Amino acid sequence: MRYDLIAVDMDGTLLGRDGEVSKANQDAVRRAVDAGVRVVPCTGRGWREAKFALEGLVDVIEVGIFVTGAMVNQINSGESVEIAEIEPHLAKELIDFLGAEPEAVLCFRDANVVGHDYLVTGSCELVGNTSWWFEKSSIRSATMPRVGVEDLHAVLRVGMVACGPRLIEMEEKIRDAFADRVLVQHFMGVQMPDPVDTVYILEVFAAGIDKWRGVRWLADQYGIKTSRIACIGDEINDVSMLSNAGLGVAMGNAVEKAAIVANRRTLSNEQDGVAYAIHKMLDGEW
């Protein structure tokens, strides 16, 4: 086996369209762990948002990389192992910049520090998809229309959820205004059942925060070299880890920007592409 750590995205990768880990994927993860490989979920979700989908693997996965690399948590307890905060003054600038938008500004925070997962500010108007997601994931939120710098410690991500292509323009505006002070990206979100509109997520992090940063930090704790790391993903927020890992595997359903930087292409998430890739690695073919 050429790899000691396999980082696996969740939505569109480890999870099927039903939001669950298939038996084939679970079996493959267990086979890898039995072979001495550390398998780590690496997702844009927070721990609380991810844990219900990982219930079938909590006995074999110790830690996870969450919030697009800004947070590492113990899988069972949710205890924060490492976090990368946005400096409070910068968080306030971002909130003010987004505050005129009709949708709420959503600040993801370390609940172990502040007692809630999301600070809802700006307009404080949640789109239907966000309300559904908060309920589904048992999210703890706090609503505060007006915030000061003193209210913004332990903020890891500032963002919003909106329908349609408007976030493309918003991403460009943030990039123009904040330049290299932040990392900004947007992509399709998890859709509620029978959605009226497709929702997209806009995410802003402190500069240098991405999934690869989280993977590399965790690998350093275990003394694992980059050449011994494999990553599997499908979306724009997976590009950093797919392009930097010893082996980057794009899903069959991957967006083009993820596919072109990967070394290998596996099957889609509906075809148990994670299981296919892991077996290829364990069998020495990849």
* Nearest CA-CA partner of 55 in 115, 15, 112, 4: 15
The per-residue pLDDT for range 175-204, each reduced to its tens digit, is 999 999 999 999 888 777 765 667 889 999
Indicate if 30 and 172 belong to the same structural domain: no
Q: What is the mean pLDDT of residues 212-232?
A: 98
Indicate if 77 and 216 belong to the same structural domain: yes
Task: Say what the pLDDT of residue 199 is.
Answer: 83
Range of the domain at 202: 88-206
Q: What is the mean pLDDT of residues 271-283?
A: 99
Give yes or no for residue 64 having a pLDDT over 90.
yes
Q: What is the mean pLDDT of residues 270-280?
A: 99
The per-residue pLDDT for range 77-134, each reduced to its tens digit, is 999 999 999 999 999 999 999 999 999 999 999 999 999 999 999 999 999 889 999 9
Indicate if 99 and 195 belong to the same structural domain: yes
How many angstroms separate the CA atoms of 136 and 271, rounded? 25
Q: Which of 206, 233, 255 is the last residue of a domain?
A: 206
* CA distance to 1, 10, 220, 246, 264, per residue, from 285 (Å): 9, 24, 26, 14, 11
How many angstroms separate the CA atoms of 183 and 7, rounded? 21
How many angstroms separate the CA atoms of 64 and 75, rounded? 6
More confident residue, 25 or 190: 25
Give yes or no for residue 43 having a pLDDT over 70.
yes
* Average pLDDT value for the chain: 96
Indicate if 160 and 220 belong to the same structural domain: no
**Whole-prediction pTM value?**
0.95
For the record, the structure tokens of 30 come out as 């267990």
Task: Say what the pLDDT of residue 256 is.
Answer: 97
Task: Say what the pLDDT of residue 8 is.
Answer: 99
Indicate if 171 and 182 belong to the same structural domain: yes
Q: List % helix, strand, coil for the chain (3-state, nearest 5).
A: 40, 25, 35
Q: Which of 177, 206, 235 is the last residue of a domain?
A: 206
Share of the chain above pLDDT 90, in %: 91
Q: Nearest 5°: phi and psi at 63?
A: -135, 160
Q: What is the 3-state secondary structure (H, E, C) of 221-252?
A: HHCCCHHHEEEEECCHHHHHHHHHCCEEEECC
How many angstroms separate the CA atoms of 83 and 66, rounded? 10
* Nearest CA-CA partner of 161 in 234, 205, 98, 109: 98
